[in-house]
């Protein structure tokens, strides 16, 4: 295993100290008989059971049982990454405890992955990825809520080139050369945010959210927080169309919610994070996004969003982008602990060149708390696979990718699971690209070991 992967594994393994605290908290929950406070909105693997009996593996979405969201008087199950929504039938989990007037929730995921991408443009590597998230929330007597959230990642220890992933492109490892057929690492600080909400009535509220970094009101929930995607170790190649703005260094969002409708406006820094993955960059709010969300039933969450993004790419500082997205997420329960979630999404990027579209369809099915099967199909119009002279955008090609995988989990502690999984992917490229990839259908695979504390 490469040295950087060992270093990252050692750094990430520190989350194991949370397990004894989780066991103690679990005993406390069952002793007092009360429903626990809401868990971190990004966490967990098990769908909530129809009733809650003193544990925090989930909150029941039915009226009268659910813990409310940090952003308003709806079930916390609806909250996903940033201020985005998922279906009310979504699930949560996490370690929580009361610290004075604050509810503190923590969740951790750590993946040790070996990626083997075939063909002359492929590569193989072993790396560690994941995240540690902590949320603190204080509820006031007037019904308002203050929430602080922090999320960090071991990704920077992969090295600047990230990990091999055919057809992925975007950002840079050295500030000069674009990354192609590799997925860039996330920053050490994925989110440092604060939000404040105030109820206006039994079914309406207003909220404000600020982050350095944070996530503006654009697109569906980020892929590592979507139920249909979070168990797969590979990033979608549609990432830069749909949810690459989940880490921006500077964002301010105002939102209004009326029952099952939400409208929100964000001002944010359009530039993607640079190649220094350990720093915090200046919050120059030069871009804007608008998102309309609707949850027509507990099983569905729909959104449409638009963004005017100033100079998103470091290598092309004179190119602005207009982005569009629309998505539909479905989630349902399977028995006591099982679930099934699917996402369909479309995104468009318009700049100085032709408009480029991306399509995604992904689904994950977990009949119980042991097995999960996941699959994804994607199609993108990309002008980054064959960079032009001087690193500029080249010719646009339409490429696609399909992957399927499986994960087997074992409960090793009351709030910790260890899983082993694998996936296989088939990529499809047009004839003009086939000589570069050695085939018009190059393949890739991953095997991974996952520790999840929820």
pLDDT at 45 over 60: no
Please, are residues 328 and 343 in contact by the beta-carbon 8 Å criterion? yes
CATH number at residue 115: 2.40.160.10
Exposed/middle/buried for residue 451 (C-beta within 10 Å: 0-12, 13-18, 19+):
buried
Q: How far apart are CA 244 and CA 430, in angstroms?
A: 25
Question: What radius of gyration, in Å, describes the C-alpha atoms of the chain?
Answer: 21
208-221 confidence digits (pLDDT tens): 999 999 999 999 99
The residue among 269, 246, 228 whose CA lies nearest residue 184 is 246
Total domains, the chain: 1
The residue among 81, 98, 89 whose CA lies nearest residue 43 is 81
Using the structure block, give the residue that is written with the tokens 């880490």: 247
pLDDT for the residue 149? 96
Exposed/middle/buried for residue 346 (C-beta within 10 Å: 0-12, 13-18, 19+):
middle
Cα dihedral angle (103, 329, 83, 308), rounded to 10 degrees?
160
Q: What percent of the chain clears pLDDT 70, i.e. is strictly above it?
A: 85
Distances (CA, A) of 83 to 7, 76, 362: 33, 11, 21
Using the structure block, give the residue that is written with the tokens 């005993």: 27
Range 271-284 average pLDDT: 94
User: What is the pLDDT of the chain when averaged over all its residues?
Assistant: 86
Handedness of CA 153, 84, 244, 363 (dihedral sign): positive
Which domain range does residue 309 map to?
3-453
pLDDT for the residue 351? 87
How do 204-211 and 189-201 pair as beta strands? antiparallel
Distances (CA, A) of 254 to 42, 217, 264, 293, 311: 21, 9, 6, 14, 23
Range 387-408 average pLDDT: 87
Range 234-250 average pLDDT: 95
137-174 confidence digits (pLDDT tens): 999 999 899 999 999 999 999 999 999 999 999 889 98
Using the structure block, give the residue that is written with the tokens 């915090």: 280
pLDDT grade for 353, boundaries at 50, 70 and 90: confident
Distances (CA, A) of 356 to 21, 75, 325, 398, 399: 48, 36, 12, 9, 12
Most confident of 171-180, 349-358, 383-392, 418-427: 418-427
Running DSSP on this structure, what letter comes out for residue 276? -
What residues pair up with 448 in beta bridges, in sequence order?
A: 113, 421
pLDDT for the residue 35? 38
pLDDT grade for 391, boundaries at 50, 70 and 90: low
């Amino acid at each position: 295993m490469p040295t950087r992967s060992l270093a990252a594994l050692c750094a990430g393994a520190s989350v194991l100290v949370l397990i004894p605290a989780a066991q103690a908290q679990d005993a406390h929950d069952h002793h007092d008989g009360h429903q626990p406070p809401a868990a971190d909105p990004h966490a967990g693997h098990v769908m909530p059971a129809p009733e809650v009996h003193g544990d925090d593996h989930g909150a029941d979405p039915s009226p009268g049982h659910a813990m409310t969201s940090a952003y308003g008087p709806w079930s916390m199950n609806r909250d996903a990454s940033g201020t985005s929504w998922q279906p009310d039938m979504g699930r949560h989990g996490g370690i929580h405890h009361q610290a004075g007037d604050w509810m503190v929730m923590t969740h951790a995921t750590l993946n040790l992955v070996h990626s083997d991408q075939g063909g002359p443009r492929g590569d193989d590597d072993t790396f560690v990825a994941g995240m540690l998230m902590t949320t603190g929330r204080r509820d006031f007597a007037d019904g308002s809520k203050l929430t602080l959230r922090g999320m960090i990642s071991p990704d920077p220890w992969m090295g600047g080139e990230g990990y091999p992933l055919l057809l992925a492109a975007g950002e840079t490892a050295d500030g000069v050369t674009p990354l192609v057929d590799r997925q860039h690492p996330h920053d050490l600080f994925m989110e440092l945010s604060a939000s404040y909400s105030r109820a206006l009535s039994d079914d309406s509220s207003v909220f404000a959210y600020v982050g350095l970094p944070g996530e503006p009101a654009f697109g569906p929930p980020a892929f590592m927080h979507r139920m249909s995607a979070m168990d797969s170790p590979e990033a979608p190649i549609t990432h830069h169309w749909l949810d690459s703005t989940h880490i921006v260094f500077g964002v301010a969002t105002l939102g209004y919610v009326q029952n099952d409708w939400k409208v929100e406006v964000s001002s944010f820094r359009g530039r993607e994070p640079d190649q220094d993955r350990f720093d915090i960059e200046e919050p120059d709010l030069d871009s804007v996004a608008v998102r309309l969300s609707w949850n027509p039933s507990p099983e569905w969450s729909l959104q449409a969003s638009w963004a005017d993004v100033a100079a998103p790419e470091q290598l092309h500082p004179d190119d602005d982008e207009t982005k569009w997205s629309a998505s539909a997420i479905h989630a349902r329960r399977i028995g006591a602990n099982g679930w099934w979630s699917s996402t369909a999404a479309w995104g468009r990027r318009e700049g100085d060149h032709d408009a480029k579209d991306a399509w995604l369809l992904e689904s994950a099915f977990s009949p119980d708390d042991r097995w999960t099967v996941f699959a994804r199909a994607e199609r993108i119009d990309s002008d980054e696979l064959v960079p032009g002279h001087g690193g500029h955008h080249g010719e646009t090609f339409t490429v696609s990718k399909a992957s399927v995988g499986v994960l087997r989990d074992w409960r090793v502690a009351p709030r910790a699971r260890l899983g082993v999984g694998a996936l296989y992917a088939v990529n499809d490229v047009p004839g003009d690209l086939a000589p570069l990839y050695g085939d018009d259908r190059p393949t890739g695979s991953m095997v991974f070991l996952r520790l999840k504390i929820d």
